[in-house]
Amino acid sequence: MRVVVLLFALAMPVVSWWSQSGAFGPDNGTVSDRYPTLLVAAGYAFSIWGVIFLLGVVYAA
């Protein structure tokens, strides 16, 4: 079971990277440019996901 948890923890950042590279369709920047709104989160606001992914892998290991 630990191996499965570790594999899923490692898969999270990989799937996120694929998503932002356009493998699953347009990335967040493209969609944001296509549908302009008055409020858009700054890019650095998403840096928390790096910490979340790191802690997930640490916990799984």
Total domains present in the chain: 1
0.85 exceeded by pTM = no
CB 21 within 8 A of CB 27: yes
- The whole domain housing 50 covers 2-60
- The 3-state secondary structure of 41-60 reads CCHHHHHHHHHHHHHHHHHH
For residue range 3-61, what is the model confidence (pLDDT) as tens digits? 999 999 999 999 999 988 889 999 888 888 899 888 878 878 888 999 999 999 999 98
- pLDDT at residue 55, rounded to an integer: 94
CB 60 within 8 A of CB 9: yes
